[in-house]
Chains A and B, each alone.
Chain A
Amino acid sequence: DIQMTQSPPTLSASVGERVTITCRASRNINNWLAWYQQKPGKGPKVMIYQASILEDGVPSRFSGSGSGTQFTLTISSLQPDDVATYYCQQYSLYSSFGPGTKLEV
């Protein structure tokens, strides 16, 4: 199994601030990485796939980058609606998730 890690576990930021979350894979996953947003009491929602492709309908303030073993999710200008937990998922070999980053505004 491929292990995924994320940092930080919790992030507190202000509205309008630029926010970055990091995800690392235990081995090379090329760009087979997705980012999900999960709000309390709801299921996950894909935001970005293939490391940098924005899912339809996702605001352009979200962006993703990276390849190999290190990836980032960036929110260029944090909005109150972005309060959620964010998970990375590798799908190079079946699937596994990072432990999540709880984003507070």
Chain B
Amino acid sequence: QVLLVQSGAEVKRPGSSMMVSCETSGDTFTRFAVHWVRQARGQGLEWIGVVVPALGKRNFAQKFQGRATITTDVSTNTVFLRLNNLRSDDTAVYYCARSLGSSGYYTSWGQGALVTVSS
């Protein structure tokens, strides 16, 4: 089973930035895309964006364009999500998930990372 291992929970102040990491396998970096999805407490799943590490391609949901960044570290097979200018409604569990392409369904998910935005 493919493992996607995420960083731990964070508490952030409004207006600051968050960064969540997702450690994957080398296979993931060469053959798959990594997506970021978030879920506020009691709410549904919301797609944030995707990176195809082998191609360096990225795309974001319109809502997050300009505020979200996805980066990669090939030396550690790790994908990072950065979200700037945090608001209280960014409080959510952030998941990374793997798919075969930038448009794909997800067979492997990280364990999720809770980010709480509070003053």
Contact = CB atoms under 8 A, between A and B. Distances in A.
Interface of A: 1, 32, 34, 36, 38, 43-44, 46, 49, 55, 87, 89, 91-100
A91 B99 contact: yes
B107 A46 contact: yes
A94 B103 contact: yes
A46 B50 CA distance: 18
B17 interface: no
Given A34-B105, A94-B50, A96-B47, A43 B61 contact: no
Interface of B: 35, 37, 44-47, 50, 59, 61-62, 95, 99, 102-107, 109-112
When A and B form their complex, which 6 residue pairs have the shortest distance between CB atoms, in order from nearest? A34-B105, A97-B45, A95-B47, A43-B109, A49-B105, A100-B44
A49 B101 CA distance: 14
Nearest to A97: B45
Contact of A99 (B44, B105, B107): B44
B47 A94 contact: yes
Contacts of B37: 95, 97
B61 A1 contact: yes
Main secondary structure on A side of the interface with B: loop
Nearest to B62: A1
Contacts of B107: 46, 55
Contact of A92 (B95, B103, B112): B103
A34 B61 CA distance: 18
A34 B44 CA distance: 15
B55 to A, nearest CB: 14
A46 B106 contact: yes
